[in-house]
Chains A and B, each alone.
Chain A
Amino acid sequence: MSTSPEHVRPDPPGPGSSTRVIRTAAAAVGRWPGAVGRFVWDFVVGDTPELAVGAVVVVVVVALLAHNGAARPVTVAAMPVLVTLMLGASVRRARRSRAAPQVEDTPGPEAPPPG
């Protein structure tokens, strides 16, 4: 592949160049929704999708209880109990995913020498 100046010089301005500029701008605008969507997903959901899904489930369950004649103490207690269960499940998931490699990667005092 040649790297002579003729090959790297930009094309002269003309009808073709304005079309390219419009295409480039259109492509950039077209990428915006995807980029914004990814940013919002990372911002709200991030690496804990279980919490985002769990929050929706908690609100829906409490709404169903409140609108289907459940006793007031039940609807009042449901929210903190469900939120506590969700936090516990998420923390347990994090502990499992962290504990396994930590135990394997860190040899204890009685571990045999490598090789």
Chain B
Amino acid sequence: MHSATVVLVVSVFLASSVEMVEALTIVLAVGVTRGWRSALEGAGAALVVLAAMVAAAGPALVLYVPLNALRIAVGGLLLVFGLQWLRKAVLRAAGLKAKHDEDAIFAEHVAELRVADGSGPARGRRDATAFVVAFKGVFLEGLEVVVIVLTLGAADHRLGLAAAAGGAAVVVVGGVGALVARQLAAVPENAMKMAVGLMLVSFGSFWAGEGVGVRWPGSDLALPVLVAVYGLVAWVAVATLARDRRAVVDVA
């Protein structure tokens, strides 16, 4: 298997897993407070819409957009997304930004949903609030995954593989999430986000470079090298920021 294929599958799987954990927190909060039927219907409807978006836009991108133009656009978009993920992960790892606390987010959603309707959960009946909140949560968290699946899959002409990796993450995280229920805080989200950020930035550099005429040494083998280089950069950034933060705390 090519190194680019491995990095593609791992990137899409990790990105989908992280977003699914965040979506699952919302769905669990809705299910616990408002009833499971509408929560699951909302989540299911959102997944269907997201899959339809991939099915509709993916082949059109692959068939009608010139490869170099696609790679420049995809590379630029992946650079922006990847740098955003990486920046947040670096700041969190250095202690300059609060970590994503799924327990706190779960409690916040439960409190909001209880306040939203004083009549309490509508177990067994259709509940518009539960449906909309679950749909919105899954749709918005999933939209970034759709962009990642479309961009990575289309640029590499492996849309089916990218979609399958994203779908596998939905199934795995959904299944594990249903079993562990409220222990989502134990998922090492920041480490996963750091890994996804590194891979997206590497893919972004690789595709944008290819699109504008850079001839990478070793072709696809340049991807793991880029991941390693950016990994080293991120590690140095975290270490430097953490040291500076400790120095500021000591002075204060």
Interface segment out of the listed A2-10, A14-22, A30-38, A50-58: A50-58
A26 at the interface (CB under 8 A from B): no
CB-CB under 8 A from A48, the residues of chain B are 83-84, 87
Which residues of B are found within 8 Å of A56, using beta-carbon distances?
A: 76
Looking at chain B, what size class is its interface with the partner chain? 35 or more
Q: Is A44's CB within 8 Å of the partner chain B? A: yes
CB–CB A62/B233 < 8 A: no
- The A contact surface, by secondary structure, is helix
Knowing A59-B212, A63-B212, A75-B214 touch, does A90 contact B83 (C-beta < 8 A)? yes
Complexed CA–CA distance, A54 and B216 (Å): 22
- Asked whether A94 lies within 8 Å of B96 as measured between CB atoms, the reply is yes
Task: Report the interface size for chain A: residues with CB under 8 A from the other chain.
Answer: 36
Docked CA distance A87–B214 (Å)? 21
CB of B122 within 8 Å of the partner chain: no
**Are B213 and A67 in contact (CB-based, < 8 A)?**
yes
With known contacts A51-B83, A55-B80, A72–B215 Cβ distance under 8 A: yes
Q: How many angstroms from the CA of A88 to the CA of B234 in the assembled complex?
A: 9
Collect the chain A residues with CB atoms within 8 Å of residue B215's CB: 72, 75-76
B38-81 near A? 1/0 per residue, CB < 8 Å: 00000000000000000000000000000000001001110110
**Partner among B77, B84, B226, B229 whose Cβ is within 8 Å of the Cβ of A46:** B84
Asked, given contacts A58-B79, A95-B241, whether A87 binds B233 with beta carbons under 8 Å apart, the answer is yes
202-219 of chain B: CB within 8 A of chain A: 204-205, 208-209, 211-217
Contact A66 B83 (CB under 8 A): no
Return A4 CB to nearest CB of chain B, in Å.
29
Please state if A91 and B91 are interface contacts (CB–CB under 8 Å). yes
**Cβ-closest chain B residue relative to A44:** B80
Known: A59-B212, A66-B212. 5 other contacts (CB 8 A): A54-B83, A59-B208, A66-B214, A75-B209, A84-B230
Q: Which B residues are closer than 8 A to A by beta carbons?
A: 72, 75-77, 79-80, 83-84, 86-87, 90-91, 96-97, 143-144, 201, 204-205, 208-209, 211-217, 226, 229-230, 233, 237, 241, 244-245, 248, 251-252
Measured CB to CB, the residues of A under 8 A from B are: 43-46, 48, 51-52, 54-56, 58-59, 62-63, 66-67, 72, 75-76, 79-80, 83-84, 86-88, 90-91, 94-95, 98-99, 102-103, 106, 108
